Amino acid sequence: MGVERVRRLFGAQLSRRFGLLPPEPRGTVVPRPPATAGPADFTGPKRYVPAADQDFAALRSAAERYPQALADREGFGWMRRKPFDPTERHPHFFQGMYAILNAVQAMRLPPGALVMDVGSGPGWVTQILVGLGYRVVALDPSEVMNDLARRRLRGFEAMSGVATDAATFITSTLEEADLAEYLAQVDAVMFHEALHHVIDERAALGKVFALLRPGGCLSVSGEGSWTPGDGQLERGLDAEMARYGTLESPFTRPYLRYVLEAAGFEDIQFHLGVNGMFAEAQAHMELHQVAGTPAGAAHVLLARRPMNGDPRPAAADPGLTEAEIAVVTAAWDRGGLVVRVRLRNSGRTLWPSHVPPLRQGVTLALTRHATATDQPEAANRCPLPHPVPPGGETVLDWRFEAQTLEGGPCYLRLVAEQAFWFQGAMRVNV
Ligand SMILES: C[S@@+](CC[C@H](N)C(=O)[O-])C[C@H]1O[C@@H](n2cnc3c(N)ncnc32)[C@H](O)[C@@H]1O
């Protein structure tokens, strides 16, 4: 029952606790988010495996290897067949399908919406989304999973005639993915049986927030919750983690809510999924009596990026997007401020660079005031010449066209374009 319950609540990917794999050399190509234990101001239990980000590289590589490891034990059958569970009463089929259908229906997406399927695995959710006419970005750290998903979509196209080039596949963890082109563009981000695998939840959910357009929706389903001391659940998690090396770390409800609020989400609602046929004689029953998962036992969740107030002040989560700005030289020249500035990414997110002609990525702005959205501002913002990972530095040479600012105080401030202003500003003393 233990392992079965774990599989029911968390899906098939379960793995051993972190720390048992040999450490990998830190990659230089894909920067690893720095190790931090999470928000200092949250007290109480957070996740079953806290601070897993300290073992990021090993956990990522276990996620990459997982499908093959699973296939070595039981073949690719379930991954290819998912969600069609032929066992008695088809529990995985109904749980999975109801969860996705409920989420898609509840989000009320516009036709052709852009949806990100995070931890897309073998692609059955992606297939449904494409079939419903959405554009989909399917993201998974495992190339083997993405291959399975591509094959699934090719088969679907051959059978249905639905063009599947509306799906784009990205092979990466969410935390490390370069998603600059999607900033503030995405209508919905869905995690099905995936959130508890995310290694750095603050970086991941902060990124989801920045990817969503104002009013865009986050959906979490197939996600069990963790209540400390639930020995049966914990033994099941440990057993599965011991088998595959990947992270199996569900959240407590208060901590998940906390991380979402810190990222800036609003309208955070936990739901009950109610499905099936009921006799008319049962019409008096209450929702909790007929819900598929008992309230509190799972996180069935919708949350939104606020509609208003953009660009959003970054005050909600200073630890995530932090910068050190040093003015090396600055001089006024005929209505322009010519500067050399050194920037250091002291936060925990990758700063994407600007992608012309779109106004995207992180840029440097020159403003009159030090606070969030005050005007006036110089006419042109300075783009980053290249993405800057956490811990990375870059030096910018730029001329701000700033006639209206000459003679008064000026501040340098960073902007995540179409998303928010960074907290903090550097006064320019000329
Ligand atoms: C249990 S599977 C669920 C797959 C799919 N959503 C489904 O319902 O079939 C979890 C998936 O999350 C992926 N994953 C693990 N860590 C991740 C991370 N940090 N970022 C994004 N995806 C991750 C795994 O590779 C795996 O394919």
Band (pLDDT 50/70/90 cuts) for residue 413 is very high
Nearest atom of ligand 1 to the alpha carbon of 117: 6
pLDDT tens per residue across span 136-182: 999 999 999 999 999 999 999 999 999 999 999 999 999 999 998 99
Strands 362-367 vs 382-383: parallel, antiparallel or unpaired = antiparallel
> pLDDT over 70 for what percent of the chain?
85
Here the tokens at position 353 are 């660079």
Pair 428, 341: CB distance under 8 Å: no
Distance CA(372)–CA(105), nearest Å, equals 36
Q: Where in the chain is the domain with CATH 3.40.50.150?
A: 2-308
Average pLDDT over residues 34-39: 40
Nearest atom of ligand 1 to the alpha carbon of 83: 9
Nearest atom of ligand 1 to the alpha carbon of 199: 19
Pair 410, 366: CB distance under 8 Å: yes
Say yes or no: CB of residue 273 within 6 Å of ligand 1. no
Say yes or no: CB of residue 170 within 6 Å of ligand 1. no
Q: Where in the chain is the domain with CATH 2.60.40?
A: 314-427
Q: How far is the CA of 69 from the centre of ligand 1 (A)?
A: 14
How many residues are present in the chain? 430
**CB neighbour list of residue 267: distance below 8 Å, 6 or more residues apart:** 302, 303, 304
Q: How far is the CA of 119 from the centre of ligand 1 (A)?
A: 3
Which range, of 343-352, 399-408, 417-426, averages the lowest pLDDT? Answer: 417-426
Q: Burial-class residue 257 by CB neighbours within 10 Å (0-12, 13-18, 19+).
A: middle
Region for 22 from its dihedrals, namely left if φ exceeds 0, alpha if ψ lies in -120 to 50, beta otherwise: beta
Mutate to test the pocket of ligand 1, among 9, 13, 61 (most ligand atoms within 8 A of CB): 13
Q: How far is the CA of 110 from the centre of ligand 1 (A)?
A: 26
Say yes or no: CB of residue 198 within 6 Å of ligand 1. yes
- Residue (of 261, 249, 357, 346) closest to 301 by Cα position: 261
pLDDT tens per residue across span 232-288: 999 999 999 999 999 999 999 999 999 999 999 999 999 998 899 999 999 999 988
Mutate to test the pocket of ligand 1, among 32, 120, 241 (most ligand atoms within 8 A of CB): 120
Look up residue 37 and give its DSSP letter: -
Which range, of 198-202, 273-277, 393-397, averages the lowest pLDDT? Answer: 273-277
Distance CA(354)–CA(386), nearest Å, equals 8
Nearest atom of ligand 1 to the alpha carbon of 11: 1
pLDDT tens per residue across span 308-323: 644 444 444 556 778 9
Here the tokens at position 283 are 């019409």
Q: How far is the CA of 412 from the centre of ligand 1 (A)?
A: 39
The pLDDT value given to residue 20: 24
pLDDT tens per residue across span 355-394: 655 556 789 999 998 876 667 899 999 999 888 888 889 9
Nearest residue (CA) to ligand 1, atom 13: 119
Q: How far is the CA of 138 from the centre of ligand 1 (A)?
A: 10
Average pLDDT over residues 397-405: 94
Q: Tell me the DSSP string of 112-169.
A: T-EEEEET-TTSHHHHHHHHTT-EEEEEES-HHHHHHHHHHHHHHHHHH----TTEEE
pLDDT tens per residue across span 79-130: 999 999 999 999 999 999 999 999 999 999 999 999 999 999 999 999 999 9
pTM, two decimal places: 0.70
Q: How far is the CA of 185 from the centre of ligand 1 (A)?
A: 22
- Which class is domain 2-308? alpha beta
Nearest residue (CA) to ligand 1, atom 7: 121
- List the end-to-end C-alpha distance of the chain, in Å, as a whole number: 70
Distance CA(202)–CA(37), nearest Å, equals 10
Q: How far is the CA of 193 from the centre of ligand 1 (A)?
A: 7
Nearest residue (CA) to ligand 1, atom 20: 173
* CATH code, 314-427: 2.60.40
The pLDDT value given to residue 36: 38
- Residue (of 342, 338, 341) closest to 400 by Cα position: 338
Nearest atom of ligand 1 to the alpha carbon of 173: 20
Edge-to-edge order in the sheet of strand 114-118: 167-171, 135-140, 114-118, 186-192, 212-221, 301-304, 266-270
The pLDDT value given to residue 1: 34
Q: CA of 181: how far to CAs of 107, 177, 293, 355, in Å?
A: 23, 11, 37, 7
Evaluated on CA atoms 195, 201, 205, 210, the torsion sign reads: negative
Pair 8, 292: CB distance under 8 Å: no
Q: How far is the CA of 426 from the centre of ligand 1 (A)?
A: 40
The pLDDT value given to residue 372: 62
pLDDT tens per residue across span 40-73: 578 899 999 998 999 999 999 999 999 999 999 9
Nearest residue (CA) to ligand 1, atom 22: 119
Tell me the pLDDT of the chain averaged across its residues: 86
